[in-house]
Structure 1
């Protein structure tokens, strides 16, 4: 019996009430008056209980047949529980780091992350979306759009606090992939946005985004906003100074190929994997293809050779050779190339040359090279997650804050994606799809009481397969 129930019962007895009894039904106290009468059949006393009403801590005894007067705060609220519980579970590891790095703003950062990972949510809608979610963390953020705008500016200007988050994530990484991408800006006041090269040849001011991703954890590690005209390896070296990844191997793309960049990488002491362009003179180096392996059922011939302090790795994809040969001969028949160009290109058809500071087996370096697709996937997700407010932010610090929030959304998205990948369900389920399905489970609150609604059969099966321990009795 709870203390407040016992106190109420003792108070009634002091007032002269007799024969009162408390019975718990579904963990709720009910009041009965219990007496005994003589049963002529059994010739013994028989207990008779008369139901008087329900006992509540706020209103006391609510007599039978009366609904009682409910206090204002006891009205029921229904909020989405399943998706909020999943996001809370996957974000738990990063919460202590955010609390240490941003003691004044971490709650607003959590709200921005949770509301934006599920879809397009500008600042003006954050409060409404947050109000739909069950507040499992029991936090009290200020969701006023003006406050959130100030938070973006404050967070964007605190690079030291951001580095605390990046260093926490990078400390677990062994293999990093690095790349640059961009987002356009229509703001006249963001001096970070500059005209620069982009693959779409669109002449608009842009902000370059530098992103590190860890291939061994499948998570983003660090992000930086850069002027749109900056695209060189110097940004890479400066970015590495902000994270904690001793001994990590960097995997780059052909856009970083140059003698100056390679020398800079060597001088920095970084382990790197750098694919070469098809017109590289290094293809003329004789390398015997003495090794072979299969990559996704494709036969790959491989060989390596040490030259000038680095190792050249040469690969020949048998399927790619056939495809490129067909393309080259078709170009010859169409008159797009001559016979001399054909013969020159045939020598390099289906071949990939990689320069690396690593002395490893060809298969290991090839796997690292192929892992570059991870950062490209992360960029695609990141750009979809930062659509809200990105075009009209007022200054560079607000842009940095917006990019950092997008990074947190990407981190949470990848955590959920990793859980789906682990059980092989990526063909049928995406993180957004999983959050939508879980949103069918609600938390119902009435005063201090809280209950979780029934879990649909399909959602229960998905939760069991993903090993989600967020639902009672699932």
Structure 2
């Protein structure tokens, strides 16, 4: 017990107060009145303590249920610091480019990018999400719903500003190109997309884009909205006329490439990788599985063979084979397939066939195609955001602005993903999980003073491996 507390207690006893004692709880003094009563069960006295209040050096006893005269409540705010600091650091290189390209609304663009990378955030909740984060960048964006809607329209109509950002992100490295589709409902107010079948075989209006990703950094560098319906690769090739196709590799869905398109790609000398349908005749080509590697702890056997100037890469996924065989037998049991169909499909269970114009190691081609899955998963979240924000996107330009901000989110997301992979933690940690962990590191602002709470030991370990500086 500190000397000033002991002095206070002695003064109270001199004043005639009896049965008062001080208990220290977590290093702070609390005052109790302690008496004893007879316990009939134990037939002995039993101590009973009644809490009177907290003792302070400045104000003496602050009685229970009151704050005491002269002890006004200090304003106190708590903000998520760890996740905000990481995103500010990763976005730091791009902020000057955004400031120059979009001088009137770059702060709102940053707020949209940061809040939507951290978590699923419809436009109507961006203001609340921004208010939770520590303003590490010291900016003052207008997160009012109406203001953000106008910003999206301004972004979508400024093609030159978007191109300035793309030029900064593009490098001399080769780039991967993915074709992606965004599907809308029948009641959609937009008329910029074409009607087409989606993966669920529903005839709906959709927008198609080509997304460019640098092979050296695995970061998105630009996107282009594709005109009309992407029925085959010809439409995608036409959209690349302004690009250096010698530095471009198309990573395509199997629906987009016919044999005629394969010829067109070869004539234009555009490298490509495309997944073959399971009923493709090329599966009958004999390819020996002489190689093997592990992809995310899954055993993959692989082989390759040149056919008519193109390379066929065959892969056998042991885990996928088991799952597909289970599914086929379930379909047989419920009568959805017959025994003959079962036997035919069993021969190709767990097998993946890729056609490419690139001569390379089978593992390199496999990882090249699998990178498409990461892109599609991230953009699936964007589709949900776009549908949630439809009431505030009144025209085509606002939709283009929406796609641009999502592109920036993807760029920031991939930067965080790269950081995790470089630390060797990708098997245990995703960008979403990392941002959630770091959100537990808070900044507390009280009475004009700003401080960061104590960082949990587990987060300190992760931050150390990722070289994240959290004060």
TM-score (normalizing by structure 2): 0.71
- In structure 1, C-alpha distance between the alignment counterparts of 2:128 and 2:426, rounded to whole Å: 30
Following superposition, the deviation at residue 442 of structure 1 comes to 0.6
Residue 107 of structure 1 corresponds to 107
Helix, strand or coil at the partner of 1:303: strand
Q: Deviations over 1:431-467 (max 9, x none)?
A: 34433443341152755x6443433444333322322
Helix, strand or coil at the partner of 1:181: strand
Residue 378 of structure 1 corresponds to 378
- In structure 2, C-alpha distance between the alignment counterparts of 1:452 and 1:317, rounded to whole Å: 47
Contact 1:257–1:276 (Cα < 8 Å) also in 2: no
Residue 299 of structure 2 corresponds to 298
Residue 279 of structure 1 corresponds to 279
Residue 84 of structure 1 corresponds to 84
Give the 3 Å change call, closer, same or farther, for CA 388–306 of structure 1 in structure 2.
same
Q: Deviations over 1:296-347 (max 9, x none)?
A: 453524131241x3233344556766776787788789693465x6776566
Residue 45 of structure 2 corresponds to none
Following superposition, the deviation at residue 249 of structure 1 comes to 2.6
Give the 3 Å change call, closer, same or farther, for CA 228–394 of structure 1 in structure 2.
farther
Residue 270 of structure 1 corresponds to 270
- In structure 1, C-alpha distance between the alignment counterparts of 2:446 and 2:408, rounded to whole Å: 30
Following superposition, the deviation at residue 124 of structure 1 comes to 4.1
- In structure 2, C-alpha distance between the alignment counterparts of 1:349 and 1:244, rounded to whole Å: 38
Deviates more, 1:272-281 or 1:149-158: 272-281
Give the 3 Å change call, closer, same or farther, for CA 329–399 of structure 1 in structure 2.
closer
Contact 1:163–1:242 (Cα < 8 Å) also in 2: no
Give the 3 Å change call, closer, same or farther, for CA 105–283 of structure 1 in structure 2.
same
Deviates more, 1:418-427 or 1:80-89: 418-427
Q: Deviations over 1:144-192 (max 9, x none)?
A: 3322222101111222322333343342653525132323256654112
Residue 222 of structure 1 corresponds to 222
Give the 3 Å change call, closer, same or farther, for CA 97–161 of structure 1 in structure 2.
same
Aligned counterparts, 1:398-437, within 5 A: 398-426=398-426, 429-437=429-437
Deviates more, 1:105-114 or 1:456-465: 456-465
- In structure 2, C-alpha distance between the alignment counterparts of 1:318 and 1:120, rounded to whole Å: 34
Count, aligned residues: 399
- In structure 1, C-alpha distance between the alignment counterparts of 2:323 and 2:129, rounded to whole Å: 50
TM-score (normalizing by structure 1): 0.70
Residue 161 of structure 2 corresponds to 161
Residue 464 of structure 1 corresponds to 464
- In structure 2, C-alpha distance between the alignment counterparts of 1:262 and 1:289, rounded to whole Å: 24
Following superposition, the deviation at residue 123 of structure 1 comes to 3.8
Give the 3 Å change call, closer, same or farther, for CA 305–203 of structure 1 in structure 2.
closer
Contact 2:108–2:148 (Cα < 8 Å) also in 1: yes
Root mean square deviation, CA, Å: 3.9
Following superposition, the deviation at residue 89 of structure 1 comes to 0.6
Helix, strand or coil at the partner of 2:398: helix
Give the 3 Å change call, closer, same or farther, for CA 172–133 of structure 1 in structure 2.
farther
Helix, strand or coil at the partner of 2:393: coil
Aligned counterparts, 1:105-254, within 5 A: 105-171=105-171, 174=174, 176-185=176-185, 188-214=188-214, 216-226=216-226, 229-241=229-241, 246-254=246-254
Q: Deviations over 1:237-256 (max 9, x none)?
A: 24444656752432222122
Q: Deviations over 1:33-70 (max 9, x none)?
A: xxxxxxxxxxxxxxxxxxxxxxxxxxxxxxxxxx9xxx
Give the 3 Å change call, closer, same or farther, for CA 148–187 of structure 1 in structure 2.
farther
Q: Structure 1 regions of 5+ residues with no counterpart?
A: 1-66, 68-73
Following superposition, the deviation at residue 270 of structure 1 comes to 1.1
Contact 2:232–2:257 (Cα < 8 Å) also in 1: no
- In structure 2, C-alpha distance between the alignment counterparts of 1:374 and 1:194, rounded to whole Å: 26
Residue 12 of structure 1 corresponds to none
Deviates more, 1:289-298 or 1:92-101: 289-298
Contact 1:98–1:165 (Cα < 8 Å) also in 2: yes
Following superposition, the deviation at residue 294 of structure 1 comes to 3.0
Following superposition, the deviation at residue 418 of structure 1 comes to 3.1
Residue 46 of structure 1 corresponds to none
Residue 336 of structure 1 corresponds to 337
Helix, strand or coil at the partner of 1:279: coil
Helix, strand or coil at the partner of 1:302: strand
Deviates more, 1:274-283 or 1:241-250: 241-250
Contact 1:167–1:242 (Cα < 8 Å) also in 2: no
Q: Deviations over 1:98-149 (max 9, x none)?
A: 2232233211100111222233444444334333333222223333332222
Helix, strand or coil at the partner of 2:382: helix
Helix, strand or coil at the partner of 2:247: coil
Contact 2:149–2:392 (Cα < 8 Å) also in 1: no
Helix, strand or coil at the partner of 1:195: strand
Residue 50 of structure 2 corresponds to none
